[in-house]
Amino acid sequence: MSEKTLHVITRNCPQNHRCPAVSACPVECLKQEGYAAPTVDNDACISCGKCTRVCPMGALILS
Ligand code: SF4
Ligand code: SF4
């Protein structure tokens, strides 16, 4: 598989705010319950990288 996978690095996310990456995702594959770290539907993710540029904590990584 050549396409990169979006990984949520939960330990890097302080889990104390609304995740701005949720609304930045063009295919709405990031979800957040309360202030928890977001979760990703990797089947729907198109590996565009937009969420990785929104997260200031390095909690959303494409690799
Ligand atoms: S890489 Fe793109 S498609 Fe995948 S979760 Fe991030 S914003 Fe959404
Ligand atoms: S932007 Fe990053 S640090 Fe903030 S909630 Fe989202 S994943 Fe966590």
| pLDDT tens sequence across 9-56 | 999 999 999 999 999 999 999 999 999 999 999 999 999 999 999 999
Strand partners, 6: 62
pTM over 0.85: yes
In 3D, which of 21, 27, 23 has the Cα closest to residue 7?
A: 21
Give the separation between CA 55 and CA 52, rounded to whole angstroms.
Answer: 6
From the CB of 45, is ligand 1 less than 6 Å away? Answer: yes
Delimit the domains of the chain by residue range.
Answer: 6-50
CATH class for domain 6-50? alpha beta
Give the separation between CA 51 and CA 55, rounded to whole angstroms.
Answer: 6
For residue 37, the CA-to-ligand 1 centroid distance in Å is 15
